[in-house]
A and B are shown apart, each in its own frame.
Chain A
């Protein structure tokens, strides 16, 4: 049975109908991962043995029974090294499991590997990882994007059928766009953060990175919900995403021209082409006016650095592997900046002001969503950059994430889907933003586009070199 390019949903059905065994699936992906990882460096740790004890005992009734997934290396996995791609945590083996991976375990998944990322999730390239750069499967001379670059590359090269990432200011959406897959940052509080090594605590969102919308909805369904271990997780009921997704709804889509400024022409063209498709699908498309993304970048930069400086204080060398001398350049920069903005006399001018503007951004989105169901725009200003180009841009991460940060600052859900290739044959992503806790409408819309266009075969094309 050839399972190449099969989605999680399809593999699940094959296992259930006994056309393939869970062991065969496991072996298949271990083999592929071992084959391509030396080239791509998508994993910090690749597991060679199945570790979920549930799978051995229970019949395959569960959704993810025997499905191998890759998890970003900032999720605590009990007994399995978790580094957040920083040497500071080089030998950290968590004694507990994050809520998300615990839920995946209960659903029967098998952890295939812990994926590479920017150290502490600081960046948009994986370049800041202490375990080497992950390469973009489309072009090994280019960045996969980040910070969840390992997860994106692993899915794009089909080393794994799906992966989990975290998105603080675009860290799921950005690499998903650059690697040409489906990546979703849900509403802040929709998924528990318990057990995820904190970056910007008021922004961090765990989310799925997949090859199809249905897989994405399936994983979010398992991950979402109130967690007694996370006080910021929401009690809002989780709807059945997949059943709500399949009734084709006619939606009112907003386009914010503010989000097209400074975007590469290839991306603009692909986006306009997509808008035509959407119109042909008889959704209504209207222009909306949003606050300029520039404000979000300022708010995000200040608040996130402040939280980073606080969250990284505990790595003092007393209890974990290495001392703070092992922090990389980017982490040090963020600690310094965050410490500064929180200092006496500067707090009001920076942090407090940023919080006020953040409230305005939230109000701006809330007001806009009284008029439209969704807002769409390009996901990144450029397609995957060449390795080394990162150094040309100060605040590289913020620049690459400028279209992603507004949704992060507001805490609304946003997805990146592939909408075509540029002239260099690199994938282009489109961002779909929705109202608070309205993941369902995003899934509904993205699923319709997938049905209509099959994402222009982008995902399939990305794997041609990995057959």
Chain B
């Protein structure tokens, strides 16, 4: 494997949870509805029907674009993408071609285990409509248009990934962000978030060798994607094939499918052959990918500007106003928690995985700050609260007021009988002569042991810091 570097890019589709569909007033929430009951002349492509774009969907895509550090195009438009398929009632999908709403972004993934981060380029974020759904029964194929024209966002990354673990982290973080933005349920099982990795392997050349692989691999039929990729100011040549994997419905499966592909492709390359350019499916039961259709010939989608929808023009002010509606994103929250609250990265990471949990944490913190004089804490309030949540000392399923009450009970400052404390300390020292000896010889780590013994004797009704001070003087 070390001979090759994996080159992996992602295409992710996210269904927006707007109230109505992308181009008509039908309900965007089609899930579980009786087939073909959630339709109208527009979303089934009746003769004469016309699309009218959903403003909220457009704004939400701009929001996603902002969250992925993209340039928001001030001039954008919809295009028709033509292909024949029974789930596509107009024989074209309204999508975006050369002027997507957002492009040229990046996203920094943070690996909680290694606490390192890595920048992944975002090629583009565009808006399109979902298709209908086909069900194959025996020799018949049934078409359900309930999903037809539900707003769909396509996020395309640069082929910047070189391992499956980073892909999984990226997808999880993207999922978290989408949920933070409150624009989609991003439910993998129900299909409101779908992803297709493009995978290939590149031979690692010694620096002196000047033999780039043939060009043309990671080019799509789009003018804005070149055959070379800029990474860190360097441009590198991409492999002359790529394999796209579909039907993946969990982040774990994405990782498994990629790992499977990397081994499969390496074996083919080792034999001196080139893996075929194709679309493969993923079989989660057997943990393998299988060939679905060859992509040797590029499909000609005959894109042209959608004449039924005027181009969209945005002002700097309008774009900025949308940016202002963004919540603090998980990445920024982690940074703030670590920097301002001095939390452990891992705790900060866990607390920010869902906006609900992060809000809960911040809410109870706010309430606890008003009661801080009653508390006896050996670390900061933010740290203790975080630790109690992360270690599940107090459950977060209860009302925030109940949490505060429980927390106070647990960490209440107690009136300490100093006389009694001194007595207890004295007796502990007396009863543990060996440990005292060792402590005096320099094994200062035993201080914790003494504190524990004292706390046990005091039944927890003492301030550990005070115990420490007294202990230190008595042990000298």
Contacts and interface: CB of A to CB of B under 8 A. Distances in A.
Nearest to B301: A344
A306 interface: yes
Contacts of B45: 314
B46 A94 contact: yes
Given A232-B310, A339-B302, A92 B47 contact: yes
Q: Which of A314, A320, A351, A355 has the most CB of B within 10 A?
A: A314
Contact of B304 (A82, A197, A316, A342): A342
Contacts of B82: 310, 313, 342
A232 B309 contact: yes
Given A76-B48, A314-B45, 8 more contacts: A74-B48, A98-B48, A193-B50, A198-B48, A201-B307, A229-B50, A232-B307, A320-B47
19 contacts: A74-B48, A75-B48, A76-B48, A89-B47, A94-B41, A94-B47, A196-B48, A201-B308, A228-B52, A232-B50, A306-B304, A310-B92, A313-B82, A314-B47, A342-B82, A342-B302, A342-B304, A344-B298, A344-B302
A314 B91 contact: yes
Contacts of B50: 193-194, 229-232
A38 interface: no
Interface string B285-314: 000000000000010101111011110000
Q: Which of B41, B47, B80 has the most CB of A within 10 A?
A: B47
Which bucket holds chain B's interface residue count?
Answer: 20 to 34
Nearest to A89: B47
Contacts of A344: 221, 298, 300, 302
Contacts of A231: 50-53, 308-310
A103 B308 CA distance: 21
A236 to B, nearest CB: 14
B89 interface: yes
Nearest 7 CB-CB pairings of A with B: A313-B91, A342-B302, A201-B307, A202-B307, A195-B48, A197-B47, A76-B48
A231 B49 CA distance: 11
Interface string A297-322: 00000000011011001101011100
B46 A96 contact: yes
Contacts of A76: 41, 46-48
A94 B52 CA distance: 20
Q: Is the interface of A mostly helix, strand, loop or mixed?
A: loop
A262 interface: no
Interface in A44-89: 74-76, 82, 84, 89
A388 interface: no
B295 to A, nearest CB: 15
B275 interface: no
Interface in A85-106: 89, 92, 94-96, 98
Contacts of B89: 314, 319
Nearest to B41: A96
A36 interface: no
Nearest to B306: A201
B86 interface: yes
Contact of A318 (B80, B86, B90, B298): B86
A364 interface: no
B449 interface: no
A342 to B, nearest CB: 4
B84 interface: yes
A234 B86 CA distance: 34
A284 interface: no
A204 B305 CA distance: 16
Contacts of B305: 355
B89 to A, nearest CB: 6
Q: Which of B41, B51, B82 has the most CB of A within 10 A?
A: B41
Contacts of A309: 302
A313 B84 contact: yes
B136 to A, nearest CB: 15
B80 A310 contact: yes
A319 B90 CA distance: 11
Given A232-B308, A339-B302, A194 B84 contact: no
A195 B49 contact: yes
Q: Which of A198, A231, A309, A343 has the most CB of B within 10 A?
A: A231
A342 B45 CA distance: 21
Nearest to A189: B310
Interface string B59-103: 000000000000000000000101010100111100000000000
B307 A307 contact: yes
B88 to A, nearest CB: 9
Contacts of B298: 344
B307 A313 contact: no
A92 B49 CA distance: 14
Q: Which of B80, B143, B308 has the most CB of A within 10 A?
A: B308
Contacts of B52: 228-231
B469 to A, nearest CB: 75
A347 interface: yes
Contacts of A313: 82, 84, 90-92
Contacts of B303: 342, 347
A231 B53 CA distance: 8
B308 A94 contact: no
Contacts of A195: 41, 48-49
B304 A351 contact: yes
Nearest to B89: A314
Nearest to A200: B307
A165 to B, nearest CB: 15
Contacts of A310: 80, 82, 91-92, 302, 304
Nearest to B24: A229
A351 B82 CA distance: 15
A360 B423 CA distance: 99
